[in-house]
Amino acid sequence: MGRWEPNSRGRLAKAAVELFAAQGFDQTTGAQIAARAGMHERSFFRLFPDKREVFFHAVETAQREAVEAIAGAPAGVAPLDAVAAALEQRCAIIQRHPGAALIRHSLVAANAELRERDLSKHAELAAGMAEALRERGAPEPVATLVADTAVAVFRIAFDRWIGDPEHQDLPRLFRDGLSELASILAPRTRG
């Protein structure tokens, strides 16, 4: 592959996950990732500041897609429904690639640095979705509360799914999580 082929960032991210799975996160270098993707090492560092960032390329893509989905939701859609639809799309994508999700989960679980960065990236996802809601007219604290809560439900659904991805439906687990939360909160709102 030449360095001018399309989707350089995606190719590097794919190569990185393959190498991380084969030889471990700490043992993999930026030069190895670039070589695996058919690129020069300097191209790697031009596109990503370090190997942590290439590992989280999918989360950045998820944030961009979620923000676009929220922005493109029909007028009048409630903030929670707009965020839920965006995260359901992400759930469906993850479910189509269970092997990659399992590898990513295993790597994050085994590395404290990646666990910390994972939390940070999911906080950025929530912040991006909250901003998209504010741009649609959702007031504060509604935008932040909805986005942060939906990301928490998403993470719980993912944890449930990762235990048995072949027999569970991740989008359904996410929707069920939102329903569980609504049923927990419903008695408080009536009293």
> pLDDT digits over 53-107, tens only?
999 988 888 899 999 999 999 999 999 999 999 999 999 999 998 988 998 999 9
Q: Identify the pLDDT of residue 3.
A: 43
96's enclosing H/E stretch is helix 79-96
Q: Identify the pLDDT of residue 154.
A: 97
Residues whose CB is less than 8 angstroms from the CB of residue 189 and which lie 6 or more positions away in sequence, other chains included: none
pLDDT band at 186 (very low <50, low <70, confident <90, very high): confident
Q: Identify the pLDDT of residue 5.
A: 61
Q: Identify the pLDDT of residue 11.
A: 93
Amino acid identity at 4? W
| Distance separating alpha carbons of residues 119 and 154, to the nearest angstrom | 13
pTM over 0.85? The answer is yes
Average pLDDT, whole number, for the chain?
91
Q: What are phi and psi of 73, to 5 degrees?
A: -65, 145
- Are 8-51 and 56-190 equal in CATH topology? no
The domain limits of the chain are 8-51, 56-190
CATH class of 56-190: mainly alpha
Work out the number of other CB atoms within 10 angstroms of the CB of residue 70.
Answer: 26
Architecture of domain 8-51: Orthogonal Bundle (1.10)
